[in-house]
Chain A
Amino acid sequence: MEPDVSIETSAMIRVAVLPIGHIPTPLLRDYTSMLLRHDAVSLSAISSFYTEHQKSPFAHQPWDSGSLRFKFVIGGSPPSPWEDFQSNRKILAVVGICHCPSSPDLDDVIEQFGVKCKGCASALVRRCFAFCPSDTQLEDGSKKDSNFKLFPPADRQTQEFHLQTMMQDIAASLLMEFEKWVLQAESAGTILKTPLDSQANFNSEELIKAKKRRLGRAQKTIGDYCLLAGSPVDANAHYSTALELARLTGDYFWYAGALEGSVCALLLDRMGHMDPELVDEVKYRYSSVILHYRKSSIQDNAQRVSPLSFELEATLKLARFLCRRDLAKDVAELLTSAADGAKSLIDASDRLILFVEIARLYGKINYQRKAAFFSRQVAQLYLQQENRLAALSAMQVLAMTTKAYRVQSRASVSEHTLDDDVGQGSANGGKVLHQSIVSLFECQWSTLQMVVLREILLSAVRAGDPLAAWSAAARLLRSYYPLITPVGQNGLANALANSAERLPSGTRCADPALPFIRLYSFPLLSSQVDIVKRNPSREDWWMGSASSGPFIYTPFSKGDQNDSGKQEVIWIVGEPVHVLVELANPCGFDLRVDSIYLSVHSGNVDPFPVSVNLPPNSSKVITLSGIPASVGQVTIPGCMVHCYGVVTEHLFRDVENLLLGAAQGLVLSDPFRCCGSAKLRNVSVPNISVVPQLPLLVPHIIGGDGAIILYEGEIRDVWISLSNAGTVPVEQAHISLSGKNQDSVVSVAYEAIRGSLPLKPGAEVTLPVTLKAWQLALVDPDNAGKSGSGITGRHHKDGNSPMLVIHYAGPLTNSGDPTANGSAVTPGRRLVVPLPVCVLQGLSFVKARLLSMEIPAHVSESSPIPAFGDCNSTKEALSSECKLERLVKIDPFRGSWGLRFLELELSNPTDVVFEISVLVQLENPIADNNNAIDHDAVEYSCPKTRIDRDYSARVLIPLEHFKLPVLDDSFFLRDTHSNGVSTSRSSSFSEKNAKAELNASIEKLISKIKVKWHSGRNSSGELNIKDTVQKALQESVMDVLLPDPLTFGFRLVRDGSSDAAGRDMPTLSMIQVEKTASKGSMMANEVTPMEVLVRNNTKETIRMCLSITCRDVAGENCTEGANATVLWSGVLNGITMEVPPLKETKHSFSLYFLVPGEYTLVAASVIEDANDILRARAKADSPDEPICCRGPPFHVCVIGTA
């Protein structure tokens, strides 16, 4: 069988092209390609070379339209035994090609050519073309053989023209030779034999038969020559005769041959006029051809040589003729029947040719899978011949099938077709439609793919192509590892290793092998070197692009994010970057990745390779790093992997698609899941851009970076040094606080950093920060007992510590790069310095209580030291010692009642001793009036209380100084609200208001009290007493704060001057009683004139009914009853008085004590026509209730003898 046959083959003159002497392959290819262009020489062109020696047998030669066709056989071919049967099988001309510079001796060339021509006995014309001769050769050669043609060196066009002329010459010579042959055959006749009838010569009967047949056969052969001479009409005439004769003699084989020739003549005659009738005619005649060939093969069944190949060739010729998409069905039928014939073909190379042709024809009608099937059959036939060249052919044929079986090497795939669509899909929606995923895995016949790949591997190994073998093994292992047994996997690994040994190091392959690599995460920059986009139009530039709303997520911003695509990452020139990738080795052998690094297509990042060992069935997350080298966008589609001696690129997208397919059940297995790695959402590669260098602040806490261990409430200064480790100065910096417990940072020296700007590279600035330890939550008491070092780590993790956030930036514009876009402002940076505060439990409150006690005042005639802030006694106000005295020691003569104490119970669970001091800060209400006092607050402090470890102690804080001076309207309003008896406003509003007011007043009160502590280790701090005190005060704050509407006081009257003093009395909750010379004691049996002073603390006049009682130690009324021991003058009961607002009224009376001893004087009054304010203060329930006001008891000491 012959390859590439078609109906027109019968009309082609076979020309052998033989290289003479040594010719470099590219040159030979060049020369032959010039020659091959002349496969048809028109008859009109050769007429000048043609001389008619005798009358031409080709009477109907179409000189104007016809042509001679050539079929060039490069290297020649051995003579076919069938060449008598089909003249086109004969080699009718020989063209030698010689490259003169490599064969200097032309005589030698001519000799060689002569030898080679002997192999082609049938050749009618011989020519040898010598290209590029030297001048001497040119002189020599022109004298030599006429068949030896020299092509003088010239440009290509000239050479081509020269060659064309030579071909026309050859064509004319051939035509003349054909004429000669035909004339000879017609006259003398020839003996034409085929292998079919070679043995028949001995049989006489056969001999007679053969004689009969000879004529028909001669006619057929003449027809063949007519066809070759380009005269279809003549050919047809001869063929008709031949058909007739062959039919008569039953020479079916020759009949079929003549019929075939007649079809070819028909086609040549109607060249260019294809119509359906012609197609039908050809189809009809050719089916008859096939039928007759079959008939002949049945007839000659017994013979050794079968004409089957002619039948198959005829089938292929018809198929090629019909080979159009719309006749695909006919073609497929023909090819199927041709394929059936393959079994009967004895010669393996015939079968090979048959399958090649079938595959080509199927490919032509776009039956790619059929073509692939037969290609694979071809490859198997090649593989059966155990030699290297056949294996190479097998490999190449299999490579052609990979497209149909979807196992292409990536090198041969034109990418960006399917992959890009899907890539975009996933980028846009994040969720790829199921359909498009399916389309990714279309036509995945895994069984077939594995077989094909295995065959490619086998053929590549046999052919000695290590790269192809590596690629096939890699594809096989990567795609089908779940279907391969561990032994097989090992085998493939060995194949990879063996191939790699034969490859030069650093070989690249388009097909990745193992491991599977997916993007694990793109670690954002650490908080130490975070990058913030700069908004140059704003003062607070770091706020620029962040969403300004209070919400972390806003539905409005979502659209924007989608438009901008993915997350954005900024890298900085010269600063190392990291990317986490996960590797998986799902196979059963140890995988050693010699080096893996990021594949940066944009080329502006220098990646660092690392090497990894992956045990069987394992996955590993590794960090890949690199250093950005230049400014611009960075694209990282995958990793470069050097594994098994070959460098491959592993794209993240492939694995993503694979995982998607695995999720949909389309792929066999997910390599990561089978390695036990958790399911991970798809991480897409963000948009990465590299920006020029930025300043880099490195923080350092002076005194060690360890945790700062503080007791609750402790105050300490910390120094943070910031140094610029970058290469660009810091020009802007701003410090803010974030994180939990922000209020624990008392102060930050903002000006320290501001003052040192710009901070040059290498410069350092120290930033003092004052910290106050916060209160530990009650829920983690286990922290208390532990040592500091143990807690440190935990506290960092808890993130309880506050953080200093420093936004800083370099110069606004990048002066170094003039091409940089003006709008692109170099970003700033954010440095987060966590203050590693570790708070230990310090003193703790057990409880706070409000204690009240009544201490009766002694009645005296002199005015004691005023409670506080007396404007007349400035020296007292300045003398703090005095005040300190008074705070803790209650002077009974000062006159005190209703004293309230805040008792704080503190315990010390720590292992150090604490000393507590209470400071009370008091406002000086008269400070505004009196310029003599320059400080508006006076501090009283109690003596220190020491609390040993594991002990508790109580601290008393007197609250007497907090009474307001006037029970006036405004306070009142507040007061009424707090009692919920609002008169004018709606209750809900007032209640709310009241609560706020109440809290405000409590807070005000608490803020005045400070509990400070010192511990032995030079640490000091303040206790946070707010909450507990607030709780304690909640109930009775009114009583603490508000003065009574009326205050009462008693005083001994000695002379009239005391009146004036009394009028100047301070307005606080105490009425001064003048003390006597004998410290307020009275003599018995003496008339003691006394005064009761009633002060109105309100802003309205109060009418009332005052009564005074005197009791003895037993509490019995001494002024009334049967055995009264005290006599009196004046009125003691039912005194009706009217006190003007904020004024005092006094009522004088005299007492005469009969018995010495201790007496108590109490004044009480019933307020008449009480207004709402008073009612509210008295917490009266009903408006009819009488409002009573009772003064504090006054102590009277009566001395003398009874």
Chain B
Amino acid sequence: MPDPSVSPLPSLSEHRVDWPDRAVASLVWLVALLVTGSLLWIVGDLARHGAPELSWSFLTDSPRDAGRAGGILPVVVSTLMILGICLAVSLPMDVGTAIFLAEFTRTGGLLAHFVRRSLDVLAGVPSIVFGLFGNAFFSIYLGMGFSILSGGLTLACMVLPILIRSTEEGFRSVPDEYRKAAAALGLSQPATLWQILLPVATPGLVVGLILGVGRALAETAALLFTSGYVARMPSSVLDSGRTLSIHIYDLAMNVPGGESNAYTTALVLITLLLMINVLTFWIADRWLHRGITHR
């Protein structure tokens, strides 16, 4: 080994082992393994307990014996109805607010500042607080009772910040040349919005939509006291109906011997969410990152 005092530049061969870096590297790898391990544990456990009961008839039967036997058809139907109401209300609000924030405000506008800040706070509100609000406002004050309508509206308030954030991003990604070109052609503002900006901003809207659907499907606490527990097939939006996540909670906590069907329902829910997740990545990769000039 050459004497370091002789050559001022260390050669590669005498590169010292950097012990602090080694130690931190192994710690960080350990953390990564731990996180990966937990996910595999949870998902593996779900698949192991849930898969044996999963069958086509589980999806098309009504629950029997408080959910211990039978399937989840009415629960799926209620979930879809709640989701439908949630999106029917939140989407127009989303598009309107996002267009306003992205296209019609200058920095320092008072209304825009207020709307942004309140959406930040709204995004952080705990779901059980949405539940309290939904119960007091939609179920009692507006007289909707424990109903799919009241649950859907509560969820609409909840997913709005997620939708708006993503849709606004979509509008901001439209290059300014498009707006200038539209103005140069003498297009009116509504026409510019409808025919030029909205089509180009659609990917952002779709990503937000999918994220919002994911959040809505996962929600339990906000629905306990708004859409209620009833596991019968709903005949209208004013009926009470339980979602997949409430069904899981009820079977796991309140029905002795309900764990097995709770796991199977959880597997259905997770599969649904995974499909949504993959769809988001797919759209984000294929659509968002492709230059709009290639259209």
Do A and B bind?
Answer: no
Residue ranges of B at the interface with A (Cβ–Cβ < 8 Å): none
Residue ranges of A at the interface with B (Cβ–Cβ < 8 Å): none
